[in-house]
Copies of this chain bind each other. A is one copy, B any other.
Amino acid sequence: MMSLQVTFHQVAPGSYSDMRSRKKARTRLAIQDAALDLFADQGYDETTVEQIALRADVSASTFFRYFGSKADIILNDYDSQLGQLCAAVRDQPLEIRDLEAVRRALQATWVPYVDPVRTIRTERAVARSAFLCGVAYNIGRGWMDAVAAALVERRGDPDALEECLLIARTALGVFGGATEQWVSSEAKEDFGALIDQGFEMLQRMCRG
């Protein structure tokens, strides 16, 4: 998936020790923040790089020094969080069903760390643009694959991949639905409770 590769361009990550690096990190964040605000307000296509640069108080040239393309802005690295989620899935005791393992892992590694404001803004931006939808979809897909792999590893049965993929897909579907409800309540409702509710519903739905 070429268009989804995260390109760090000329800005190396890590080693934010000296003033220079700290300033760069600040600039990077400022650009991202400005862009997401504008995307949420006007839509992705309707926002020009010049507008983003203006709001972030940099020149268009500088923008392209920090991000290889307009698309790169939102190709955040959720990698660390995804890693934790997968580790938590793997660490669930074996006597617990797969679906329940994913539920617990989500509750432990994701729910406590979501930022409501950022989530709402991102969701709004995504809802307005087919391109951003695609990016979100692919991120979700990456999660699905990783979670499925974690489940397979937990079981120790490589033949179960197809089944684990379905489990991961279903679990992330529940997660997505809960997120949607949460966002549409403007984060007023309890996110964790919404997720549990979704999993219970799934249970009921399959039994009859």
Using CB atoms and an 8 Å cutoff, list the residues of chain A in contact with chain B: 1-4, 43, 45, 71, 97-99, 127-138, 162-163, 165-167, 169-170, 173-174, 176-177, 181, 198, 201-208
Q: Is A166 in contact with B162, judged by CB distance below 8 angstroms?
A: no
A181 touching B203 in the complex, CB below 8 Å, given contacts A71-B130, A127-B1: no
Q: Which of B45, B131, B163, B204 contacts A130 (CB 8 A)?
A: B131
This chain: copies in complex: 2
| A181 surroundings in chain B (CB, below 8 A) | 162
Q: Give complex CA distance A166, B204 in Å.
A: 11
Taking a contact as CB atoms under 8 Å apart, the answer to whether A133 and B137 are in contact is yes
Complex Cα distance, B43 from A2, in Å, reads 9
Q: Given the complex, which residues of B lie within 8 Å of A167, measured CB to CB?
A: 205
Judging by beta carbons under 8 Å apart, are A202 and B2 in contact?
no
Given contacts A99-B206, A133-B138, A134-B134, contact A128 B1 (CB under 8 A): yes
Q: In the complex, A198 Cα to B166 Cα: how many Å?
A: 8
